[in-house]
């Protein structure tokens, strides 16, 4: 397990560079992230969008575009479709959203003509670097699926486990979060959490230790589990926090960032290649960390080697 993003950057330099394609790339913060990615030198870059605006914003961001391919497509929707086509055709390894509406971006990814759909549910995986915490910690799905039912939760978990296995974590610990550890028929999230745990125990969900329902304090703090008298292999050791809905994930994620000073990277999983969809106010470092996470995922996809 990595302790921080800097270790991911360092590890990537041992491997072949991946190619990042940015859809509608004329966006200031995105180009700042590209500037930092060039400094780290773990990706090649393809920018698709309004070329004149890209050059102008690149100058403002202090980004030298020498050696970076730019495809001039002025309309944001057309630029997005072109970027998706580049990745789908294998001319790039990672797709990233620039200055285009998120719904239009996802629609292009899922387009039956030239898109990147696989038939799997798309879901969001967030990775947090938290000051004072001893390693990176993962969370799903706090960014895409609003109120998933049990079947959708299976798809979300499948995507996350595929990611972990790809980067070399054979049996990650998954905490299916709820408010407490008791199954309550009136609280659907506790029933779903227990069902996922049972499916992992009888082999229907493979390659993970799954426990639920489980509260956040128990999942990340062994002393809390001991104090509450809870005997769980997850106690203080969870790799993946699986939240019950987008509201819980959004609140937990923003609490980490704004109260704890954490940093977040994120990927959309379930498409043919990793997809980066960050908010417009995401700082350049967060976008850089997302690029690194996607690149490391591609390293694992090709080599089967993890950290």
What residues does each domain of the chain span?
1-118+271-307, 121-268
CA angle 279, 283, 289 (to 5 degrees): 90
Could you tell me which CATH number the domain at 1-118+271-307 has?
3.40.50.10950
pLDDT in tens, the chain (307 residues): 799 999 999 999 999 999 999 999 999 999 999 999 999 999 999 999 999 999 999 999 999 999 999 999 999 999 999 999 999 999 999 999 999 999 999 999 999 988 899 999 999 999 999 999 999 999 999 999 999 999 999 999 999 999 999 999 999 999 999 998 999 999 999 999 999 999 999 999 999 999 999 999 999 999 999 999 988 888 899 999 999 999 999 999 999 999 999 999 999 999 999 999 988 778 999 999 999 999 999 999 877 544 3
Global pTM value:
0.94
At 19 the pLDDT is 97
Six-digit token pair at 91?
């001319």
Residue-level pLDDT at 306: 42
What pLDDT is recorded for position 304?
Answer: 55
Residue matched to tokens 């993946």: 240
Q: What is the pLDDT of residue 164?
A: 97
Is the CATH number 3.30.1330.60 carried by domain 121-268? Answer: no
CB 263 within 8 A of CB 289: yes
């Amino acid at each position: 397990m990595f302790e921080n993003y800097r270790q991911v950057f360092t590890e990537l330099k041992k491997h072949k560079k991946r190619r990042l394609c940015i859809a509608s790339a004329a966006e200031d913060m995105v180009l700042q992230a590209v500037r930092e990615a060039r400094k780290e030198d773990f990706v090649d870059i393809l920018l698709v969008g309004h070329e004149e605006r890209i050059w102008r914003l690149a100058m403002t961001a202090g980004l030298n575009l020498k050696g970076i391919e730019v495809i001039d497509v002025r309309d944001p929707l057309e630029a997005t479709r072109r970027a998706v086509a580049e990745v789908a055709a294998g001319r790039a390894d990672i797709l990233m959203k620039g200055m285009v509406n998120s719904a239009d971006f996802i629609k292009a990814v899922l387009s039956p003509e030239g898109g990147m759909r696989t038939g799997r549910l798309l879901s969001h995986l967030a990775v947090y670097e938290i000051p004072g915490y001893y390693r990176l910690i993962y969370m799903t799905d706090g960014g895409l699926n609003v109120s998933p039912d049990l079947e959708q939760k299976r798809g979300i978990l499948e995507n996350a486990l595929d990611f972990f296995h790809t980067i070399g974590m054979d049996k990650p610990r998954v905490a299916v979060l709820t408010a407490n550890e008791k199954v309550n028929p009136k609280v659907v999230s506790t029933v779903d959490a227990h069902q996922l745990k049972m499916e992992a125990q009888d082999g229907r969900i493979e390659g993970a230790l799954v426990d639920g329902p489980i509260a956040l304090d128990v999942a990340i703090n062994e002393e809390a589990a001991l104090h509450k008298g809870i005997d769980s292999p997850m106690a203080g050791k969870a790799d993946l926090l699986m939240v019950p809905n987008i509201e819980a994930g959004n609140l937990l994620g923003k609490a980490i960032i704004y109260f704890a000073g954490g940093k977040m990277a994120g990927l959309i999983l379930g498409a043919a290649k990793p997809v980066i969809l960050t908010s417009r106010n995401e700082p350049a470092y967060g976008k850089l960390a997302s690029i690194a996470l996607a690149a490391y995922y591609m390293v694992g996809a090709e080599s089967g080697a993890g950290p």
